[in-house]
Structure 1
Amino acid sequence: MLTALLERRQELFPWVPVLFGIGIGVYFALPAEPGPVALTAILALATLCGLGFLRAPFLWRPVFAVVFLMTLGVGWAQIRTLTVAAPVLEYRAFGPLEGRVRIVDRSGSGAPRVTLDEVWMADLRREETPRRVRISLVSPYQGDVPEPGQRIAVTANMSGPAAPAEPGGFNFQRQAWFKGIGAVGYTRDPSVLLAPAQGWSVIVGRIRARLSAGIQARVAGDNGAFAAAILTGDRSAMSPDTVEALRDANMAHLLAISGLHMGLLTGFIFAALRYGMALIPPAALRIPAKKWAAFLALLAAAFYLALSGGIVATQRAFIMVLVMLVAIMLDRRALTLRAVALAAMIVLILRPESLTEPGFQMSFAATTALVVVFGLLRDLPETAWRPPAWTRPVLAVFLSSLVAGLATAPFAAAHFNQVAQYGLLANVLSVPLVGTIVIPAAVLGGVLAPFGLEAPALWVMELGIRWVLGVAHFVAGLEGSTWPVVSPPQTVLPLVALGMLWLMLWPNRARVAAVAPLCAGLILWSQASRPDVLITESGALVGVMTEAGRVLSKERSEQFAARSWLENDGDAAVQAGAHSRDGFAHFRGGSRIIVGGVVITQLHGRGWQDVLPGACADGLVIAARVIEDAPQTCNLLDQRSLRRTGALAITVQDGKVQVTSAKDRSGDRPWTR
């Protein structure tokens, strides 16, 4: 078997980023950060295996290659962690803040939000000051939103990035670490302009802002906001209802400038230029039209990257397009597994942390599956049945949506806790129009705009967008359009990913072995269980699992944690609905509930001092404050102890209580210290 694989070793290159990624995944799964000695040993092992690959007997080279790539992945991820290290604010602060606006976007609540660099904060030395700070501008009196490049001053409430809302939950601390964000917060006061914007980012930012405003001035409502989103990345004008409809119809990917938009834009420009040159005989005979079209399409992709703000998803899409267009210029086939693998390797080298992000997982899952499936169809023997020529475009669109939807479904369900039941229908009805009408009309409108002739192109673009948004609202309104899904155990996605990769990449019939990890992952997912009790780090919110679903102790407090808990439960309820469920007995000074024979009392409001002695005698006591005079025998979780542990998950079984803390699950890593 090994000899047969070596004979087909050219087909094994796609496994290079897989093995490198496994090493990166191992690094992020470690419970503690490797020390300098461990890092040196890892890099030394990688070096020895690299030398062994070059000098070992032929049959031993695959072994050395596997160990080399995996150990290199571990070491490279840690090197990346060390190189992006920056100070993190270790306490809550309120005071003056200055910085240069680097990014302008919107928070989850829709408030304008700015990310600042070149930061100055009162009472902090330079070496203690975070490299970047992200502030939401929540004041209703806020004037114009600052522009990228401007230096502003605000008075803000700030703290370090929040720990997970539950043990094993979404780790914003890690995400912020790799973005260089050392503090987050909000301000209710207007910002003060200290210095105007300067530099290249100003020019690009102003072009982006003017293009977005110009589109919305000519195309009204959500249609114009959608056009601005897909062309400039500015989603600030999208209404919440439309965004929710796109999400429920599994069409939210149309809002993010990702591989789909980059591919459609560059593909249209490449085809238009190539066929346009072919219509000019002197040019077609004297210049390599295909290569020049690829080069000019690459320039358009680079401009699109700069115009969109250069977010991580767009950078990843640009790298994929770059690899494919360069392959065309080098007379290589563009859409191959080797090209996809090369793009994945570049992304992982530049940003190893991308491996943990849903965007990376879903985009490369879809691209790999599409290349494999259409490659198999291309290689069918001549005697195989083929559909009539006039049906092939329609079938190709349907098959593309089906393959991409199946490939990304496990990752979308795991990260977003829902499955769009009619997502395939929505994408089949909408994506073809984005590629054949919306994007081409937008490009044509951009070409004609300097001459004042863009109106017909924008009218055609608006017709396509109306259809797309109409499909989103129609599908989202169907009964049972979304199916909530419980969060899987952390071992599920690696198993499913390994099974899918084995199925798509292994070069012989042994790919049938992919059934084992796929089935193991799905079985583990089907057996997933949720904690009986969840407690926030502040102690202000408690959630207890009941037969009717999780009941929450508060109707409004800790809204992010409440939403996260319910989503991870696979529960479609909102916080107010979960609070109204039977379970908690509310009284003056607190609330009480019994879980598996254990009495849990949460102290809050006036009169909690009178409740404390009896609550301590009954069982577990939770308080959103520091309590100094509790009985020594009291089983108390107050803010002092919860700050040390982070959020808690409690499971009660046969009268035995098992407690898991967010700090224990997150481990001793640089972003958790």
Structure 2
Amino acid sequence: MGRILRVIQNVWISGEAVLLAQRGNMLGWVPVCLAVGIGCYFTLTWEPAWPFFVWLAMAGLGLLLIARLLPEAVSPFAVGLSLCLIGFILAGVRAHAVAGPVLGWRYYGAVEGRIVAMDRSQSDALRLTLDQVRLDRVPPDRTPQRVRISLHGKGPAGMTPEPGLRVMTTAHLSPPSGPVEPGGFDFQRHAWFARLGAVGYSRVPLVGAAAAHDGHAGLMVFRIRMAASAHIQKRLSGDTGGFAAAITTGDRSAISQEALHALRVSNLAHLLAISGLHMGLLTAFVLAGLRLALASHPVIALRWPTKAIAAVGALAAAAGYLALSGGNVATQRAFIMVAVALAALTIGRRAFSLRAVAVAAIIVLVLRPEALMGPGFQMSFAATTALVAVFGWLRDIDRNWLPRWAKPVFATVVSSAVAGFATAPIAAAHFNAIAHYGLIANLASVPLMGLLVIPAAVVALVLAPLGLDWIALWVMGLGLDWILGVAHAVAALENARGHVVSPGAWVLPLISLGFLFVILWQGRLRWGGLPVMALGFALWQGAARPDLLIADTGTLVGIMTPEGRALSKSKGAGFVARNWLENDGTGASQEAAAKLWQDGDIVHLSGKRALAEFQGCTAGQIIVASSTADSLSGQPCMVFDPDSLKTTGAVAMHRSGQGWQIKTARDIAGERLWTNWPKAAPQDQYVRISPTKRP
């Protein structure tokens, strides 16, 4: 017994020493704990009531008090658990704070509203986001705060949408749709936090209802952005002008789908988003320029705090860039990171450190907890964390053996490789694609962005009041032409893009936690994060796709075959088909997948005529109809029609020895603030889905 006690005592002493060695490095774990709590909130299938949040707040406060009484080596665990509870509460409070009416039915009629955003859809149609919405015969308390409409028609001559303009049109609107398959991207949740209560399209002319005279500060900045974008596009034509407008004003509406495709395939699409790269290059250029200008005057250089003054000036430039670019979430993250780095520089601290990254992540998670679930947050902080950690390790390595000219080349290669490897799993998980030549494309493009494009953009802004901005824009255009050329050349290479299967729910969390443990933990135990990452990749490798997928409207069916997924239609439901095939990890087209379809036990009745001509089903068959299938009620087969699918969302089915295992989008998404499932469904609708059990 005494020997056992001594072993336990030795283990405790050793463990306590390991934990105490983490002192001074605990700040990096704060956003990790917050993220765990936020992630737990979003994975629930039910919506907590307010008393639940009150109990969590009391528990979190109690843990903080208990932490003061625990031994120093153990108290961080209590604090960490408290931070997890705080993250959960932050996500819940944010979800309730953005609450607004969501359209509960399909609407066709007059729509009136004020233009507050403009962009392009995947079909290249101009999209308008409207607020101050009015719908015909819809009471104000049921009218969405914002709606988004794609314009598929042509407006009257001289009619150009502009920021703040109040417009009218006749449009088809519907509630934000659910995932295209169970566990897929949840557009309902995304729309909830964007305060979009309805989405749709219009094919009739857009009519101006009131002039854009609103003095709202946000709309004034919006007008300046769009005016700047139009000015740039007059100076630079085609995709070059659209690229320039995107990286300066955030307006991507002028870039062709062909150019976007080339940028995505070559892994250069991140250059379009005003993120950490652009914000960092801009502030670095302004900071260096101001320091050089201040240092040129002897009195100022000797008596004034030139570093702090230059940092303040660079921060002002970053804030202006944030406003001009529209201030989306990615740009806000980049600005916060730059602001933290400049503040550290001002007080004499290291500008780029893991503590600075942690502070930036904390601020973003507190302000926008929902950002955690998006690829932008995950990729930007993964890249930044990896870069800061790797260059921190390289700081202690002697690099004097490198020639002077080779050091910046070495830094560029290392930074591109590190950022690429850190973001590749996240990009592959969200977009099901890997750019095989992405490193080459980035090495050929990113240095030019820093040396030519961003400096030219700053000079163009300075020269604009003199009317000489065309000179800098011409130089900027040369750099962008090169980048577009690289994108098209790389995209044209054989096997430029690979496809990967969609991972399971636990894959990215395991990879991320293992990665963060390697980065943040102090001591040799940090390498324990590698097996955790390996487990995540192993689970990804074994990810199984559904044998049968049914769209939530019954308009498309996909069944897995030895040759790949077979689709029931070669045209129509293109968005759903594209997502299914991408999640399968194949690059097949919908037309090619439709050629694999063969009628058998799975029957798709597309349209009322096909349903009317159907003679009846047999036991073991699965019938999917795109129209209400009342005529098949009571038959011995499984029947899915729009009425039943409305209550369940998209359906995924797996074959097993006991038959079909059914999983619905409603099973995964649950009953949350942003879901829009019918409150109650007739019992016969569930009978149609399965004669033996409710899915």
TM range, smaller chain? over 0.9
**Deviation of 1:521 (Å):** 0.5
Match of 2:226 in 1: 209
**Deviation of 1:55 (Å):** 4.6
Bigger mean CA offset, 419-428 vs 32-41: 32-41
Please point out which of 569, 577, 580 is paired with 1:562: 577
**Deviation of 1:397 (Å):** 0.4
Q: Distance in 2 between matches of 1:406 and 1:145?
A: 44
TM alignment of 1:341-356, pairs within 5 A? 341-356=358-373
The answer to whether residue 49 in structure 2 is matched with residue 46 in structure 1 is no
Q: Distance in 2 between matches of 1:370 and 1:419?
A: 20
Match of 1:587 in 2: none
Q: Distance in 1 between matches of 2:155 and 2:559?
A: 39
Match of 1:620 in 2: 622
**Deviation of 1:40 (Å):** 2.0
Bigger mean CA offset, 203-212 vs 22-31: 203-212
- 2:663 counterpart SS class: strand
Please point out which of 624, 639, 644 is paired with 1:641: 644
**Deviation of 1:385 (Å):** 5.9
| Code of the aligned partner of 1:156 | A
CA shift in 2, pair 1:8/1:655, >3 Å = closer
Match of 1:654 in 2: 657
CA shift in 2, pair 1:632/1:366, >3 Å = same
Please point out which of 464, 478, 494 is paired with 1:479: 494
The answer to whether residue 30 in structure 2 is matched with residue 13 in structure 1 is no
Please point out which of 382, 391, 396 is paired with 1:374: 391
Q: Distance in 2 between matches of 1:145 and 1:323?
A: 40
Aligned residue pairs, count? 658
Match of 1:79 in 2: 93
The answer to whether residue 463 in structure 2 is matched with residue 448 in structure 1 is yes
Bigger mean CA offset, 638-647 vs 459-468: 459-468
CA-based RMSD: 1.7
Q: Does the aligned pair in 1 maintain the 2:607–2:627 contact within 8 Å?
A: no
TM-score (norm 1): 0.95
| Code of the aligned partner of 2:338 | V
Q: Does the aligned pair in 2 maintain the 1:530–1:569 contact within 8 Å?
A: yes
Match of 2:273 in 1: 256
Q: Distance in 2 between matches of 1:130 and 1:399?
A: 48
**Deviation of 1:303 (Å):** 1.1
**Deviation of 1:81 (Å):** 1.1
- 1:544 counterpart SS class: strand
Q: Distance in 2 between matches of 1:82 and 1:610?
A: 46
TM-score (norm 2): 0.92
Match of 2:349 in 1: 332
CA shift in 2, pair 1:618/1:428, >3 Å = same
**Deviation of 1:145 (Å):** 4.0
Please point out which of 114, 125, 145 is paired with 1:100: 114
| Code of the aligned partner of 1:624 | S
Q: Distance in 2 between matches of 1:542 and 1:450?
A: 58
**Deviation of 1:368 (Å):** 0.4
Q: Distance in 2 between matches of 1:154 and 1:545?
A: 42
CA shift in 2, pair 1:326/1:145, >3 Å = farther
Q: Does the aligned pair in 2 maintain the 1:222–1:239 contact within 8 Å?
A: yes
Please point out which of 411, 419, 432 is paired with 1:404: 419
Q: Distance in 2 between matches of 1:192 and 1:611?
A: 44
Q: Does the aligned pair in 1 maintain the 2:155–2:207 contact within 8 Å?
A: no
CA shift in 2, pair 1:275/1:190, >3 Å = same
- 1:113 counterpart SS class: strand
Q: Does the aligned pair in 1 maintain the 2:172–2:202 contact within 8 Å?
A: yes
CA shift in 2, pair 1:633/1:228, >3 Å = same
**Deviation of 1:86 (Å):** 1.1
| Code of the aligned partner of 2:45 | P
Q: Does the aligned pair in 1 maintain the 2:608–2:627 contact within 8 Å?
A: no
Q: Does the aligned pair in 2 maintain the 1:113–1:134 contact within 8 Å?
A: yes
| Code of the aligned partner of 1:282 | V
| Code of the aligned partner of 2:233 | Q
Match of 1:424 in 2: 439
Q: Distance in 2 between matches of 1:213 and 1:631?
A: 58
Match of 2:689 in 1: none
Match of 1:302 in 2: 319
Match of 2:563 in 1: 548
Bigger mean CA offset, 21-30 vs 352-361: 21-30
Residue deviations 1:115-135 (CA, integer Å, cap 9, x gap) = 111222222222222111111
> In percent, how many aligned pairs have the same letter?
50
Bigger mean CA offset, 206-215 vs 476-485: 206-215
Residue deviations 1:85-123 (CA, integer Å, cap 9, x gap) = 111111101111222211111111111111111222222
Match of 2:329 in 1: 312
Match of 2:685 in 1: none
Please point out which of 603, 606, 622 is paired with 1:604: 606
**Deviation of 1:183 (Å):** 0.7
Q: Does the aligned pair in 2 maintain the 1:12–1:507 contact within 8 Å?
A: no
- 2:173 counterpart SS class: strand
**Deviation of 1:419 (Å):** 0.3
Q: Does the aligned pair in 2 maintain the 1:147–1:205 contact within 8 Å?
A: no
**Deviation of 1:153 (Å):** 1.9
**Deviation of 1:59 (Å):** 3.5
Q: Distance in 2 between matches of 1:169 and 1:420?
A: 22
**Deviation of 1:333 (Å):** 1.4
- 2:223 counterpart SS class: helix
**Deviation of 1:32 (Å):** 1.4
- 1:168 counterpart SS class: coil
Q: Distance in 1 between matches of 2:38 and 2:621?
A: 43
**Deviation of 1:57 (Å):** 4.1
Please point out which of 669, 672, 677 is paired with 1:669: 672
Q: Distance in 2 between matches of 1:632 and 1:210?
A: 62
| Code of the aligned partner of 1:354 | A
- 1:120 counterpart SS class: strand
Residue ranges of structure 1 left out of the alignment (5+ in a row): 585-591, 594-598
Q: Does the aligned pair in 2 maintain the 1:620–1:636 contact within 8 Å?
A: yes
Q: Distance in 2 between matches of 1:173 and 1:107?
A: 17
**Deviation of 1:530 (Å):** 0.7
Q: Distance in 1 between matches of 2:315 and 2:199?
A: 36
- 2:334 counterpart SS class: helix
Match of 2:258 in 1: 241
**Deviation of 1:437 (Å):** 0.7
Q: Distance in 2 between matches of 1:77 and 1:7?
A: 32
Match of 1:175 in 2: 190
